[in-house]
Amino acid sequence: MKKKVVICVLVLGIVLLLLVQLREARTKYPKVDSQGEGSMQSEPAATDASQEIKDTEVVDLPDPIDSAAAEAKFLAAFKTPIAFFGKVVDQGGNAVSNASVRITLSDKAFESGSTSSLQSDGSGFFSIEGNGAAISIDVSKDGYYQTGESKGVFRYATANRTPLPTKLDPAVFVLHEQGKQEELIEIEARFRVSKNGTPLSVDLVTGERGSEGQTCLTVKAWTYDDKKNDQGRYSWKVNLSVNDGGLFKREERFDFVAPEISYNEIEEIVMSPDDENWSPQKEKDYFVKLGNGNYARIRFRMIAGGDNFFTLKSWYNPSGSTNLE
Amino acid sequence: MAVDNDRDGEVTFGGTDATSETQPHTFWVNDDNDGTGDGTENVGSPNKDYTNGQLSSKRDLEDLSRIHLEVSSIDDILSSGDLQLGLKWKNTSDSPAIRLYLHSDILGGTGYITDDGAAGLQIGTTYKDVLKDKSNLSTISGGSTFIFKKTFFQNLSGSEIKPLLFEGSGEGSGELTMVLLDKNDQEIGEGSSVWLNLENIKNLYVRGRADWSGENPPREFHGPTNDPPEPSFSFVFDQMGYPFDQPWYETGETIFFVHGWNQAYGNSLSFAETTFKRIWHRGFTGRFAMFRWPTEVGLTTYNDSDYKAWKSGSALKTFVQSVPGQTKNIAAHSMGNIVTGSALEKGMSVTNYALLNAAVPAACYDTDTSLHVNSYVTPLPSAELGFGGFLGGVSGNLVNFYLPQDFALITWDVNNDTNKPHILPAFAGSYSYDPNVTNPLERLSASFLLHTDRLVQTNHEAMSYVIQSQTWTAGSDGRTRGSINSDVDLSQYGFGDEHSAEWNRTPQQTADFYEELLMQFQIFPNP
């Protein structure tokens, strides 16, 4: 009997404590509503300035919820209604019809989402209705290159700063229309190179190490990774040259036509430990005018330090045309 | 007979591929269970792959190494049966054993590891079954001689080599020797040999485990006004009965691997061993080490595990310091990047650090406001217990392998939205943030049922339980810079929205990723 009384007192005590906790939790968040009592709570303004909490500013906060409600809200987020609107255009802003649109709805917590696909209509538009915490879009079409704007992930269950796409203001996905395709000799290779400037030549026709012939790119690297600074950085540089030819920096991804003049005999990549953007590696694209008068474009990536090597992708046009697409 | 002992991707007879008693070709025993089809890694299964007599999955192929036979001068007489070729062990230590498979590539290349089509052919009807000798023997072990059937040589058609694959089916080392036998099975001479060393894979890499079982385990929250005590975290080398056996070829590079959240120990070992196997096949000859930290397991344990992850940094730092290596590189997955970031913030030194699907707010590394995609009312700078710049000062070459669609990191966003500030179950307590308090360092508080309310004053507790991030994770946002040097978009490997594709997909589907990982560590991958 005495034991039962003790248990009852303990249970009552715990209930009392819970009530005190709940009361305290409620009073921690005095709701201050600038729009008047009972109005809908407004979302924080979507500007950077709103994040700087000033000492005198009173910020409205949501009511705290219990853990079960938080869990329910968490799971419900993956059922958030989504009405997504998109448009596919080419590099000139022209609508691209019949583009393939791959869709992933993030409709499960910690699992892969549901996938589907559709095609853009005659005006490049498409729309999707579904449920999920987010939607991922991946647009492609034969005869077009994907660009950095061909994909996107749009979150629907979190506090976005930027507005989500609407029917009137759809998300825009950009494809780049391909031009005339040439018969190119494509090589992809990887070579270790000395750290002391000993030259290494690669034949852009065969991809093999070659003598310094008319279709060869010559690489010289100097890597001082035995002299690292406190941050582990070191100096390195690499020289690229072409026998009786030259190199021209290729800046635009979709620029496939090589210039006929203004090639440099040597192109140099230099990295100093003091560089703000120091990295042990660098990738650059060049047009190459070869000694035999033909053209190529290359993607050269130097990885300086460690095994000290470079990767090379090359597209060589044996026809003599400057078109390297 | 030859193997790729210098691991350059080419099998050559003699030269740099030569083996010896002190420089054997070292490989692991195929004692996991990779299932069927694409396969799944199952470490510690009683149904070991070397017992089933066939290559059942594309994943199983990473448990095979190459061995080439050169018999072109005697292939005619071997195919007639007047002379027989056998393989047997000599000079053994323990009980080495192997099983052979025909290589689907007549040139004996590495496509079975790197190419999906080649892998499909290898596990197809023609090549999947273990090679049996004329007496139906399928395992080369002990003192027995494996005698090739004469039909084995009848389709050589002048090729110079007979490429085979082998799996280890018994631990030990020895000299696998070619022997010539007459038609009555009498040995009449010996040919060339290769020295093999077959070990349990756990002998081939180092394991360290955060030892959190001492006093003050993480998440021990004390009142009345104190911060939670700093847990006594250190690490222990976890041999698990398989002490590290330093291979003869070891170079000065070390790669550390740190697993993510919600992984039981076995799962994290599985991820580690998958990583080791895949970089081994690409020619990595340095030391591999995995670090186990005390993630909780279960879908409602995210914030608690996050807190433990921050607290595990000091143990990781000590572990990394304790494992030798001229160049130390680290690859961390998901929440393992919290552990790694914490260790770096405490001064851990590594040359290169690959963040894989990092479940860490981009703001931790980069305070650029263009990354601010969310509109939560929450502190920003780390000086006010926010995420902003908390890892902005860490050094090393940080490379962000990000996946924009990553399902787990989208779930992370939802957790950031709904489970911060954190509420404990059954009204046991809650965290709160009140921006109306004047002093920025008194805006975060904790209220627990059995303790007096207190302020939250440490970054680790604030970041795990209270602060909502204004940014996505670095692992889903390739724009993240600050202390991050460069980025690699994982979607180029076809990983879609898979958070752990690097381990869950086949070796062939992930070959390009592991090649890039090695290159980011300035290690030359074999072709």
Q: pLDDT per residue over B506-524, tens digit each?
A: 999 999 999 999 999 999 9
Residues in chain A with CB shorter than 8 Å from the CB of B403 are: none
How far is the C-alpha of B339 from the C-alpha of B335, rounded, in Å?
7
The pTM assigned to this predicted structure is 0.91
pLDDT band at A34 (very low <50, low <70, confident <90, very high): very low
Q: Average pLDDT of B107-125?
A: 96
Question: What is the predicted pLDDT for the residue at B188?
Answer: 95
Task: Please report the number of interchain residue pairs, chain A to chain B, with beta-carbon separation below 8 angstroms.
Answer: 182
Does the structure show a pLDDT above 90 at B242? yes
Measured from the Cβ of residue A48, the count of other Cβ atoms closer than 10 Å reads: 14
Whole-angstrom Cα distance, residue B301 to residue B419?
A: 11
pLDDT at A27 over 70: no
Residue B43: how many other CB atoms lie within 10 Å:
18
Cβ contacts of B2 within 8 Å, gap of 6 or more: B11, B12, B13, B14, B17, B67, B68, B70, B194
Note the ipTM here: 0.91
Select from B128, B72, B70 the least CA-distant residue to B100. B128
Phi, psi of B160 (to 5 degrees): -80, -30
pLDDT, greater one: B487 or B427: B487
Percent of residues, chain B, with pLDDT higher than 90: 83
Radius of gyration of chain A (CA): 31
Nearest residue of B to residue A277, measured between CA atoms: B485
**In the prediction, which pLDDT does B523 show?**
98
Q: Which residues on chain A are in Cβ contact (under 8 Å) with B524?
A: 190, 192, 306-307, 309
What local confidence, expressed as pLDDT, does residue A33 receive? 30
Give the HSE-up count for residue B18: Cα atoms under 13 Å, Cβ half-sphere.
5
Of A63-67, A153-157, A162-166, least confident by mean pLDDT is A63-67
Report which of B200, B155, B326 is spatially closest to residue B252, judged by C-alpha positions.
B326
Q: Which residues from chain B sit within 8 angstroms of residue A149, using beta carbons?
A: none
Contact residues, B window 292-321, toward A, CB-based 8 Å cutoff: 299-300
Contact A73 B374 (CB under 8 A): no
Would you call B349 an interface residue with chain A, using a CB distance cutoff of 8 Å? Answer: yes
* Burial tier of A114 (Cβ tally within 10 Å: 0-12, 13-18, 19+): middle
The arithmetic mean of pLDDT across residues A148-174, rounded, is 96
Tokens 């692991």 correspond to: B28
Query: How high is the pLDDT of residue A148?
Result: 95
User: Rounded to whole angstroms, how far apart are CA atoms B499 and B410?
Assistant: 10
Where does the pLDDT of residue A20 fall: very low under 50, low under 70, confident under 90, or very high at 90 and above? very low
CA of A22: how far to CAs of A64, A74, B94, B428, B522, in Å? 10, 22, 67, 10, 56
User: Taking CB atoms and an 8 Å limit, are A110 and B411 in contact across chains?
Assistant: yes
